[in-house]
Structure formats: C-alpha cells, structure tokens
Amino acid sequence: MVNEVINPQLQTWARRYVRQVESQVRPLSASRRRKLLLVHLDGVPKAALEEGLRSGQMPFLGGLVGSGAYALDEAFWGSPASTPAFQGGFLYGHRHPNLPAYSWFDRELGRKVQMNTPADALAIETRLGHRPGTSLLSEGGHTYFSLFQAQANNRLCMSTVASFKTMVRGFRYEMEGVVAGRTRGPLSYLRSLGRDAWNAFTEVHRWARIQRDWRHEHAYLMSRVFLQRLGWSFAHTKALVDMVRGVPIVYLVYGNYDEVAHRRGPRSEQALAELRRVDAYLAELHAVAHAVQPGYDVIFLSDHGHVDSDAIEKRTGQRLEKLLLEGESPPLSEDVRRGLLDGRVLPERGREPHVPLNPVVVESGNFSHVYLTRERQPLEAAQLVERFPEVLARATRHPDIGIVVVRQRDSAVAIIGGQVYGSEDIISAPLPVEFSRRAVADYLRELPHMPTAGDLVLFGQAVPQGGTVGFAWEFGSHGGLTRTETASLVCWPQSLPVDLSALGHCTQLYERLSSIYRDGARPRVEVAPTGWREASL
C-alpha cells in the first residue's frame, strides 16, 4: 500500500540513490531487527498540517494518510508546550525534566539560560542525570538538530556544539557519506543557495522597514541562510546516508517552520511555504527508507503548535518588566488574597511590601517567568502576598495577562478573572475558548516539579482569531496553554506493532517506541495520568 503512494519515478530514484551510496560508504556491521526514522516537525500545529493535507499543498503526506497506510492522531505531550520539555521526556523518559521554557533564569546556575546557546544546552543536558543506555538513541542512534545528544553516536545537536574539540574530533565521522549522498550537483546547489540568500535578504529588509524594528532581523537572516538552507540540506542528506548504512534509529528535527513562525507568524506565507517545502523532503526520506534492506519504519511528529502573537510592547508601548515592577499599583484583590492564603494568616511584620531584589523577567514567548528574588527556592503564594502584593496586583489586574500561575503549598493555583483555581477547579474557570482546560490543569500539576520556573508564571490573554498576547517581540509563539499550542500530532504506519494513538505524555511515546526499537528493552518510566480529554469539559 505504501509503494502505491510513492510514485514510480521516485521509487526508481531511491533505488538508484541507494546503489550509489552503497558503492562508496561502508555499512554498519551490527543490525537491529527493526529500524526507525523519526522526523520531528518542530512547532507544526496539527491544524496547520491537516489544512496542508486538505488543500493538497502537502501531497505526499496527504497521500500516505489518505491511503490508509498511515494513521494521524492528536497527541498531548505534557507541560510546557516547548521543545526542551518534550525532548527531555521523549528522548530520556523523564516525567519531570524541570525544563520550564526555551529560556529561563536558572536558579542553580545563577544566570539566564537560552537553549539555542550551546554551552547552556550542554549544562542542562548534563543535569538531566541520564544513565548510559537509557536514551531512545543510545546504542548507535543518530540525531540531527535536536537540543540534546541523548547518547547518540554523532554530534550534530545543540549541546555538542559547545565543545570545539568535540566537533573537530567528530568532523570526519559527520562528513562520511556526504559527497556520495548529495542529491544535487555543486553548481546547481550553489545557484539555489545564492537565490535563496538573496530572496531572504530582500524579504528581511522589507519586513524590518514595515515593522520599523531590526532587533531580530540580522539573526533571522543568518538563520534563513545557514541553518534553514545549508544546515537542513546537510542533515537531510546525512539522514538518507544513515539509512543506507543501517543506523538503527535516526532522529531528524525539521526546525524551519518553527523559526519562520516565530518571526513572521504561523499562518504567514513564508511559514506555509516551509510546510510545502518539507513535503518533498519527506517523500525522498520515505522512498529511501523503503528502498534499503531491511527497510525503516518512518514516524512523523510535532512537539507543539504555534499561535499568532500580538506583542505586549506593541499594545502598550512598554516591556512586560516595566509593567510589572514600576508605576502605580492597584490594590491586590481581596478574592485573590484570600484564595492564595487559603486560610493562613500573615504575621504583622508582613504588612509592608518588599521591593524585588534583582528581579528577572524572562519573556518566553506568550508566557513569562518572573523571578522576584535570586533565592534558590521559589516563592510560595503566601510569601508572594506578604512580600510582593504590588507585583501580584499588577499581574492579576492587567487586561493583557490572562492567567497567573503560582505555587501554593505543595501544589499550584491559577489566578483567572480575579479568582483562584486549583487543578481540579479549572473546569469552572472563566477561560476564553482559545485556552485548553486540560493544559491549564496539567500545568498546575507540573509546576511543583519545576523548581527552576519563575515565582510567577504569566500567560498572555487570548486575542481574536485564536492568537494570544505575547511578551516577547515575535509574531508567533508557543509554550502557552491554548488548544493550538498543546495539541501536537503523531503520524505513524498502520503496520507498526504498537499503537501510538491517544498519547497523554511524551514519556508514553518514549516507552512505546523503546519497547520495539531498543532490542526488546522495556524501560520502566513513570507514566502520566491521561486525565480528562478536552471534549469532556
């Protein structure tokens, strides 16, 4: 059935490609009974992919699903809806990896970390506390463009770039097969790269002039040319070669859509063009996966969705930090005060508010981590009421902040519409329809396991057409609690000897894939409760 989806010309190309690479690259000596190619479509919302299938803009993937050879299902990976948390759970099986965002102030390190900074990614991966042989990629797997190496044999991920010596030592290994595996001639590729670079430059210049803001455009231009074109082309070629050689598991991250969605919006023409572009790459990967012997199982998934982001700086003329920490403050609502204290009485000395000491406000897209002190332990609700009522009042009363989450005793609560709700009460909270009640409740259960998250975690209010207010200067965001951001996808062959439907946490994906792709190993992980589905609310 699958061969019927791959057109004869592509099948012929794939067989010829496999013979070409086999003649020049040594195969691996060891072979597993089943092999896996896992393609991670970073940031692609399930709704956007389904629209691409319906409209015919993704004809290959649409053909796979439409033929019945592949199943496409929604998945909920847990909180937050961000790549670090997903990869910590999916690659290592960590139920609570303590990865609160893509960027945060790390209490243990005493500084802000950014996961696209190699040294930070290495420090965080080292702290994950993994044991040899526990990763999905251990024992010979390869990874391309992931944040973590996860015990893979190769070194093309964010955490390994931190060491120049490591990169130099692995250069020969990484380049093996690239020349044999290229799918285009050098001159053709250089012409295409030059054309793409020029188009990217003119688009960036036009966009920045319209927005009257250049703050991210230089980095975005470099990303378009070197990461999204050169980098992806290299990773795609290496994945093809890996399958010919017989690498047991190949984990390939396609980050182009995510990069473009942040800077231009998830429904922009540039972002949708990346979905059309990747469909052709997926066809090549799938054809080679079935041309090699033994063949590969191919699974597609996304880690989170993207929503339109209306920056708070554009709406108010001020950054979030200034809105929270400066100016006049309304009184803290008595309902909020009473709900946060939960029957406790503050001592008399706690009546005067404190001034935040070296506060840090991290704008993590459409949510934000607010650290009011540099203390190693996060503040609890009663401490916030006692020491920082003015900050609480500004956050809970601002119209552009939809949800404020804080720790309360050993759990967490959300302040929504001037009232305090626990995870079991979210069903009755006055949430706009854009938000996922399941995701909000899950986040409240997860926050006590994230000590490095902020004292306050703020989520932008919903805006028309399904977007949210954003705290960072970007036009597409994720990490928040909307239905679009938290409804991920997994697409797998119906012939797979394991069911990947109705997944309620990324550790469940880790467990099910490990059971068939790690030589029968069945790692024991703490499986998250699936909770209730959105439809039941």
Domain count, the chain: 2
* pLDDT tens by residue, 117-172: 999 999 999 998 777 778 999 989 999 999 999 999 998 899 988 776 676 677 77
Domain containing residue 51: 2-84+136-143+181-278+287-304+497-520
pLDDT value, residue 535: 40
Strand partners, 41: 254
Q: Does 322 share its domain with 293?
A: no
Q: How far apart are CA 401 and CA 204, in angstroms?
A: 30
Whether residues 502 and 408 share a domain: the answer is no
371 and 445 in one domain? yes
* Pair 354, 446 in one domain: yes
Q: Are residues 326 and 463 in the same domain?
A: yes
* 520: CB partners within 8 A, 6+ apart: none
| Neighbouring C-beta atoms of residue 190, cutoff 10 Å | 11
The answer to whether residue 167 is domain-embedded is no
Would you say residue 165 lies in a domain? no
Task: Note whether 473 and 503 are same-domain residues.
Answer: no
Same domain, 333 and 418: yes
Provide the terminal-to-terminal Cα distance of the chain, rounded to the nearest Å: 39
451 shares a domain with 331: yes
Question: Would you say residue 33 lies in a domain?
Answer: yes
Are 462 and 410 within one domain?
A: yes
Q: Which residues of the chain have pLDDT under 70?
A: 1-4, 29-32, 164-165, 167-168, 348-353, 519-537
Instruction: Tell me, yes or no, whether 195 and 265 share the same domain.
Output: yes
Residues facing 114 on adjacent strands? 103
Asked whether residue 124 is domain-assigned, the answer is no
Q: Which of 279, 283, 274 has the alpha carbon at shortest distance from 240? A: 283
Which residues fall within 8 angstroms of residue 348, CB to CB, at 6 or more apart? none
- For residue 294, say if its preceding peptide bond is cis, omega within 30 degrees of 0: yes
Q: In degrees rounded to 5, what are phi and psi of residue 249?
A: -135, 130
For residue 211, tell me if it sits in a domain: yes
Mark whether 462 and 510 lie in a shared domain: no
Confirm whether 95 is domain-assigned.
no
pLDDT at 518: 80
Single pTM value for the model: 0.92
What pLDDT score was predicted for residue 155? 87
CB 446 within 8 A of CB 89: no
Q: How many CB atoms lie within 10 A of CB 352?
A: 9
Q: Are residues 515 and 429 in the same domain?
A: no
The verdict on residue 204 lying in a domain is yes
* In-domain check, residue 235: yes
Query: In which order are the strands placed within the sheet that holds 296-301?
Result: 70-75, 488-493, 296-301, 35-41, 249-254, 142-144
Q: What is the pLDDT of residue 77?
A: 97
